Amino acid sequence: MRRTLACLLLATLLPTAQAAASVPVKGVEFTHNDWTLACDNTRTCRAAGYQNEDAGDDPVSVLLTRKGGPDQPISAELMLGEYDEGDMPDTVTLHINGKALGKVADSTRFSAAQTSALLNALIRDSRIELLGNNGRRWALSDRGASAVLLKMDEFQGRLGTPGAVMRKGSRAEASVLPALPVPVITLGKRVPTTAADEALGQLPALRAALAAATSADDCDALHAAEGTPFDDEPQPVTVKRLDGRHLLASTVCWRGAYNEGSGYWVVNDRAPYQPRYITNLGVDDDTLTITASHKGRGLGDCWSNAMWAWNGTEYIQTDDGSTGLCRLVAAGGAWQMPSLVSEVKEP
């Protein structure tokens, strides 16, 4: 009887578990002090630590990467500050609390033993240093590491397991949440844009429809008031053909000191246009994809990026992420830290 009840219970729970497994996972981003985390929709997590700027330490960063699923190791990479050209060493040695732990391979890759020692150091107050053979010294901060690593364990479902970095326990490693496949988005077919399509961008009625469907917070230029950057003349609206009934309309929406963003909408190719707002972060597009890339600050040592793809029916966001914290480690940013990844395929 007990076995029958157990079988019935299992049969009831399985569809629920399968349904939960099929629900897309939303990535997370989290920053505390000198450490930041980005976990993506496949359950891969990347944690990056930096120097303590308040202490005046030279720029340096370490990236910890761990895929989702049971029994996954953590890899560690090193990047010494490259933003300002300086005397770079030929070799670098890892030191923790004054103890030398060997050279870092190619000055970029920590060994498994070094990674283990580094993780143990990060979860308590430690002195973590990289010493170059030319006498230069870089100090990696541990401020915020514990909070970031705890968040990583939580997102990947590792808390209470032997493989957790924080809060290890005896819960079976097999209980760790599984890695998820990279979503595949197939682009819609490319349709030529005609001169008549392009001419629609000149119509006041289309601009009025975009303005009516979009708040001033989302597109300042469509609601330009006197004294704003867009009060001199309207920004042009660009129109491109998507399919037999729909167009992609875009116009610059906002400008900052070192960035600007364009708004994008799917509209009907004749009135009523019924705009469907996509984003105001666009920087470029090839009609089927819209890309965004923005500096975190004027120095250009940190960036955010995103992409949307037309699947023949709608635009789906396919990528989202950043290059980590703004710490003068490298021009263009030190790392790629996505919170959303996809594979985009041609039809």
Q: What average pLDDT score do residues 94-112 get?
A: 98
The pLDDT, as a whole number, for residue 23 is 63
pTM of the model: 0.90
pLDDT digits (tens, 9 = 90+) for 158-169: 999 999 999 999
Average pLDDT, the chain: 92
Nearest 5 degrees, angle CA 284-CA 37-CA 330?
A: 60
Q: Please give the helix or strand (H or E) that residue 204 lies within, else none.
A: helix 204-212
The pLDDT, as a whole number, for residue 24 is 78
**Which one has a higher pLDDT value, 224 or 289?**
289
For the chain, report the end-to-end CA distance as a whole number of angstroms.
Answer: 54
The pLDDT, as a whole number, for residue 5 is 32
What is the band of 347 on the pLDDT scale with cuts at 50, 70, 90?
confident
Compute, in degrees rounded to 10, the torsion defined by CA atoms 312, 316, 318, 319.
140
The pLDDT, as a whole number, for residue 99 is 98
Using the predicted structure, report yes or no on whether residue 240 has a pLDDT greater than 50. Answer: yes
Domains of the chain, earliest start first: 25-175 (2.60.40), 184-345 (no CATH)
Q: Is 229 exposed, middle or buried (0-12, 13-18, 19+ CB in 10 A)?
A: middle
At 189, list the tokens: 């077919």
User: What's the distance, CA 136 to chain centroid?
Assistant: 32
Q: How many CB atoms lie within 10 A of CB 274?
A: 12
Q: What average pLDDT score do residues 173-198 get?
A: 98
**Alpha-carbon distances, residue 284 vs 40, 45, 145, 290, 292 (angstroms):** 24, 28, 36, 6, 7
Q: What is d(CA 76, CA 130) in angstroms, rounded to the nearest whole number?
A: 14
Q: What is d(CA 7, CA 13) in angstroms, rounded to the nearest whole number?
A: 10
The pLDDT, as a whole number, for residue 112 is 98
pLDDT digits (tens, 9 = 90+) for 27-68: 999 999 999 999 999 999 999 999 999 999 999 999 999 999
272: preceding bond cis by omega (within 30 degrees): yes
Q: What average pLDDT score do residues 278-288 get?
A: 98
Q: What average pLDDT score do residues 252-258 get?
A: 93
Q: What average pLDDT score do residues 281-301 get?
A: 97
Question: What amino acid is encoded at 88 in this protein?
Answer: M
The pLDDT, as a whole number, for residue 225 is 62
Using the predicted structure, report yes or no on whether residue 9 has a pLDDT greater than 50. Answer: no
Crossing angle of the two packed helices 112-122 and 145-155, in degrees rounded to 10: 110
Least confident window among 22-31, 124-133, 246-255: 22-31
The pLDDT, as a whole number, for residue 175 is 97
What is the band of 227 on the pLDDT scale with cuts at 50, 70, 90?
low
